[in-house]
Amino acid sequence: MMQQGLGQVIPTDPLPSVLPQVTEPLKRTTEQLQQRALQQQLSEKLAEKANLADPLTILPQTLEVLSNTGQLRWREVEVEQGFRAIEREWLLLVSVGEWQQLVSDWPVLPSMVQSEDKLASLGLSLIKIKVPVELDSASALQTKLTAQLAIFAGRNHLYQPQVSMMSELGASTINTAPMCQWPVTLGMIDTAIALDHPALQQQTGHLTILQRNFLPEDVAQSLAHGTAIAGVLAGQHQVAPLLPQLNLFSASAFYPSNLYQQSATLSHIILALDWLAGQEVKIINMSLTGPDNPVLAAIVQQLALKQIILVAAAGNGGPAASPLFPAAYNDVLAVTAVDEQLQLYRWANQGDYIDFAAHGVKVAALRADGEVALQSGTSIATPVVTAAAACLRAQQPELTLAELRLALIAQARDLGKQGKDQQFGYGLITSPLKFELE
């Protein structure tokens, strides 16, 4: 009887058919909420990943650079605006009279001097000092230096190449014709060149390379980037080298900060520039970038007075990045990179300082190990404009920087907005030169 009574209270028939009409919408709503939560998590992870530095190029805030025997040579540190420099090292570019006045105003200064190099070609001295921690800023130094001389003091900043390498080969940008057939002399500041590369075999009347190392003998040299740039200029792996008759002065100033990143100190770059000026080189390729620095600015100005023309990479910082140097100085020709479809390299800097564009995306460039790989960046585009400038200078050696800029503008193919713009500058430079100067 009890069971029978319970049977009357608890129905044994299935629940009414209206139940699915309630549970199905709830199920769909739950699935939608779960999907949105997953999408939100994915978006957060992607955003977090996008803000991470490239693990191949990221460097610690402090990095010790060791000799081949394990001795500390110098210490890299992160400084203002995320740039890098040698710890507490500052450079002064001064004449004899300026140095004497500076010592008179700051008698403790000689005790801080680490080195003094006479820049014979420029008639100046490059003095490197190491300051105590409490003076390690521009504002602190300016309280000790006279206002006139403070503008000549700058950190011993580090500068880096502007190229990325791809592991596989595919469709690539190659030269189909030389820039010119004239004998050309130019210089470059870069890593060392792998002189034993089969595509860079020297031959009188075709290619000669005079290379000088500006690093201490016990510090390892890099080879990768300089070999690639030399290959763009004169490598025999291309349909035709840009400069089939090239006399190249190569100044090696870069060392490996890690397996993927090379660095050059400003002091080594300046010594290299002085050497190139002494070789009477009038066109210099600088496929490197870094911060504005009063000492670098002063050197560029001195070279411009001698009508020595610098061609530099605009930088791979991206369209929103600040200007990079030396390219952003008025007396330097700044080069950006485009691909085969004449689209701007996606990581190229943009700005009013851009002068010219050249092919610099998926370029078949030399590797130090004897192979060829696709490389991209404003570094790879820069030697194309350097070659054009050198050819024009070879035909008319007395061309000034202003006249050479006009000659290159006449050679350029306008891209983007009509006239000079912040992406492509005056336009694209390609080989061969369209016409010879009168």
Beta strands 332-338 and 309-313, pairing class:
parallel
Check: CB of residue 381 under 8 Å from CB of residue 338: yes
Rounded Cα gap, residues 389 and 311, in angstroms:
9
Which amino acid is it at 181? Q
Rounded Cα gap, residues 285 and 387, in angstroms:
9
274 is catalytic: no
CB atoms within 10 A of CB 112: 17
Which amino acid is it at 44? E
Looking at 225, 267, 268, 359, which residue is catalytic? Answer: 225
Rounded Cα gap, residues 91 and 293, in angstroms:
10
Check: CB of residue 227 under 8 Å from CB of residue 233: no
Residues 6+ apart with CB under 8 A from 26: none
CB atoms within 10 A of CB 64: 11
Rounded Cα gap, residues 104 and 99, in angstroms:
9
Looking at 121, 136, 157, 190, which residue is catalytic? Answer: 190
DSSP 3-state of 161:
strand
CB atoms within 10 A of CB 405: 17
Rounded Cα gap, residues 335 and 393, in angstroms:
18
What sign for the dihedral angle of Cα 410, 402, 322, 383?
A: positive
Nearest residue to 130 via CA among 83, 93, 91, 159: 91
376 is catalytic: no
Looking at 263, 287, 376, 379, which residue is catalytic? Answer: 379
421 is catalytic: no
Pure H helices in 198-265: 224-234
End-to-end CA distance of the chain: 122
The residues annotated with a catalytic role in the active site are: 190, 225, 379
